[in-house]
Homo-oligomer: A and B are copies of this chain.
Amino acid sequence: MITVSIVEDDKDICQSLAMLINSTLQFKCTHTYNDCTSGIAGVIKDPPDVVLMDIGLPDMSGIEGIKKIKEKLPEMDIIVLTVHENDEYVFDALCAGACGYLVKDTPTARILDAIKDVADGGAPMSTQIARMVVHSFQKKTHTLLTQRETEVLQQLCTGKSYKMIADILFISEETVRRHLKSIYKKLEVHSKSEAVAKALKEKLV
């Protein structure tokens, strides 16, 4: 028997979900919470196997709620259920510790599947969400930098000094410096750390 808690401010939706879950033999909705604060406290006090969590809550963002729950219970499985379909909340939620992300028009059967899925160690996501997640891994194709500049930037991203990069690429330190000047101009940055930050955040290397 898998126990489920729901954090959702819309009481109709909350009740429907609870009924849906309780209509099964394998799942049981043990608690429902209508705001984030009580949801966090309740989940920590009486942990279920799985939490269904809304993002758009009145008192506090569900994202913050996820963080707070995961601080106390790092292993808790939390599925986000939201009306925000294809937005920036996806990555915020996953970074905060959500292990699934469903949009609210998900068919009820799929919601039950998702609960089963997380309990089995999966990470259920809506179709488009999954693609967004996978796309986020893919490197940008940039014709911006030349071949050699890209190599220098790669070395930079391991924290190397000019001298070390020069030794690795078998060129003089001055040439490294020259490439860096060009890289800085193209990336519109003014220091090594800024270049590294930009390269890693935008997956240029």
Could you tell me which A residues sit within 8 Å of B by CB distance? 71, 74, 91, 94-95, 97-100, 117, 120-125, 127-128, 130-131, 133-135, 137-139, 141, 156-161, 189-198, 200-201
Contact = CB atoms under 8 A, between A and B. Distances in A.
A176 to B, nearest CB: 13
B137 A197 contact: no
Given A125-B130, A131-B99, A200-B200, A193 B120 contact: no
Contacts of A135: 99
Name which of A94, A160, A193 has the most chain B CB atoms within 10 A of its CB: A193
Contacts of A122: 127-128, 130-131
A62 to B, nearest CB: 16
A137 B94 contact: yes
A192 B157 CA distance: 11
B196 A161 contact: no
Given A95-B139, A158-B197, A123 B130 contact: yes
Given A159-B198, A193-B159, A127 B137 contact: no
A159 B123 contact: no
Nearest to A98: B134
Contacts of A99: 131, 134-135
B194 A137 contact: no
Name which of A117, A133, A137, A189 has the most chain B CB atoms within 10 A of its CB: A137
Nearest to A194: B159
A130 to B, nearest CB: 4
Given A95-B138, A98-B134, A160-B193, 17 more contacts: A74-B141, A95-B137, A99-B134, A99-B135, A122-B131, A123-B127, A123-B134, A124-B130, A130-B130, A157-B193, A158-B194, A159-B190, A159-B193, A159-B194, A159-B196, A193-B195, A197-B200
A133 B127 CA distance: 15
